[in-house]
Structure 1
């Protein structure tokens, strides 16, 4: 059992007791400033002062023992308050160009049994079905590019020709058989008027017999393991007579998910190859023109590179952070920061992402922290959130510029990190053409 919360409460109680005692002693000592005629009374008050001093000393010692636990929990809570949630992903490409993943793309397309030719397979009457759909997973740490790779697979001409329909479902940490079944039916053009799981799954089962599907389950977490895996089995029930050639593609960072759902050898996605990653990182830091780079800055850049573990997200994050302040002292501070030495699990967030938050300007930290209070997958209106930032006093006046305009600029500044360490406020365009932002990506959960 974690005793930190108990120590916190006990420590806070002691704080209250300590200050109440100090206040009481102050008033009593204040009353003893006037001359005392009775020597017995003076002796009693002197003994009373000694007892109170000992009591204060004891309380201070207890506080000294309790404060480390309080500090540790508060420190964890400071990171925890920035526990954002990942915005809902789609099959549409979010990156114009994908660096260094051509080989991985080819291998996964081959694993999906997609033929090399661009022609669609001919449909025949009474096409064979399969007992269950094969499940392939792309597994890797957060920010390594699993979703981006899956998006490129869905948009590849060969894949689009081979499968009659591609269904993309953003699972995230809310795995529910009914929700996922509904989304699968809707994505395939079916209707979901009823809310009964049995009825919904019969509809989906009928659809699965008619077309060759690729179902992409993006961002699956351990929530899929609940009920000892029964929830996953319920979701898969409609696929027992699916059309031959159909596949399920899962992206996850959890080996437990892989062990539960995969029927094929998982595809581990590692970091970018060193030479490609170096070019990519320099592009993130220095832009397209890398012909005139200051040697000292380039040396620091090269020293930071191995710490990023080949992660495109970490490269974008730290690259833009370094680009904001091309000063050798600032860069060396980042290079020598103790966060690089933190121990971490294989699936845990990279220290680069925490550093990105640490070096974010204070006014943007406050704005980001506020956005993290919104519920899961909430779409934040730029104008609305700017008004709240102004009302909360987060916006710093700049001459005659309107505070709302400054707040909107804060939004844009955060949006500079779109697609990077946390996709802080993933800009979207609503039906009216107004910019909106989604929740923060799950990679920031550990920040």
Structure 2
């Protein structure tokens, strides 16, 4: 036992040395504290005032919503599910908002409800919010059995649209519990799910609509709207080239465009635009930057072994084109790929 303790102490001392050399800090916060902004995050069904560049995707979602074909769920026990998937800030919620308020949707469904699920899937709280949206009543208590029975009664025989915005959970049991009241439905009922996680879409048992980056011209229109209150640069042509540089920096993320546009709101000084175009996202004011918190949540949600693989990519310089096969070899050499239980290291690396 003494030799084992000495071995542990030796390893701890080595870890402490590495911690100091890497300038790491202790963090005694529990796991839930890593998601403060996510726990309090809410979204609204009201649409964005400037929505551009997603007409094709909107028409596709509308087609899926109003088509009479049922979902592919086992035994057709739950309504058709339409997952909208994409990285943080790419515009999933904005697309869902536009569809939710489309006149064709309003006339097609008997009942509509919108709720933000967020990181922790609290089945009772979500059921209660949906019930309140449908009935217009509050104060239904917190008993899950009572809430789900009431929701089932109000949805029975009705064609409904339910939007579950920002879903994170990968737990199949929680998902099936949430969907229980939706079994008593009329044909044509739909649940729309927005998520960053492809595995959430697989839980839904439906093919996902993958949202790509916004086109450059649409980003430029969005920047002009939030920075200048117009949809073009006709009134300020001297800022257009700087706006194009800023849009390139945003890499097709509407949230990034909106945030940078807000920083430049009603400011037509070319020097300020130049400063934004030359700055890095992480150099922007923390209290006015919605981009990094949104993207950080995706990182915090990763399993610990994937965090190590992601952090390893920091060794590459800015704008370096990473070769997939080369990266997997480096992961393997560093012992970041789990090869236990007879797993093929290469195939495991591909899945990461």
TM-score (normalizing by structure 1): 0.53
Aligned to 2:63: 110
- Structure 1 partner of 2:256: 314
SS at match of 2:245: helix
Q: How many angstroms does 1:106 deviate by?
A: 1.6
Cα deviation code 1:161-181 (max 9, x no counterpart): 111110111101120222222
> Match for residue 359 of structure 1?
284
Change over 3 Å in CA distance of 1:99–1:187 after alignment to 2: same
Using the size of structure 2 for normalisation, the TM-score is 0.65
Shift of 1:156: 1.0
Equivalent residue number for residue 250 of structure 1: 193
Q: Deviations over 1:71-121 (max 9, x none)?
A: 34489x9xx99963353212223x223112222222101101269xxxxxx
Alignment: residue pair count? 274
Q: Is the 8 A contact 2:80 2:189 kept in 1?
A: yes
Residue aligning to 1:183: 129
> Which of 147, 164, 174 is 1:231 aligned to?
174
Alpha-carbon distance in structure 2 between the residues aligned to 1:255 and 1:318: 28
Cα separation, partners in 2 of 1:159 and 1:199, compared to 1, 3 Å: same
Distance (Å, rounded) in 1 between the aligned partners of 2:154 and 2:94: 28
Q: Where does 1:289-368 land on structure 2 (aligned, <5 Å)?
A: 290-291=233-234, 293=236, 298-321=240-263, 326-328=269-271, 335=277, 352=281, 355=282, 358-360=283-285, 365=286, 368=287
- Distance across 2 between alignment mates of 1:235 and 1:163: 21
Instruction: Spell out, residue by residue over 1:390-415, the C-alpha distance to the aligned partner (whole angstroms, 9 max, x if none).
Output: xxxxxxxxxxxxxxxxxxxxxxxx6x
1:169 equivalenced with 2:134 (yes/no): no
RMSD (CA atoms): 3.7
2:41 counterpart SS class: coil
Say whether the 8 Å CA contact 1:130–1:242 is kept in structure 2.
Answer: no
Q: Does 1:266 align with 2:208?
A: yes
2:156 maps to which residue?
209
Structure 1 Cα separation of the partners of residues 176 and 263 of structure 2: 44
Contact 2:162 2:190 in 1 (8 A): yes
Alignment partner for residue 89 of structure 2, among 131, 143, 150?
143
Stretches of structure 1 that go unaligned for 5 or more consecutive residues are: 1-5, 11-61, 116-128, 340-351, 369-413, 415-420, 424-439
> Would you say the 8 A contact 1:130–1:240 is kept in 2?
no
Counterpart among 21, 26, 30 of residue 68 in structure 1: 21
Mapping of 1:44-55 within 5 angstroms? none
CA distance in 1, matches of 2:189, 2:245: 46
* 1:327–1:81 distance in 2 versus 1, CA, 3 Å: farther
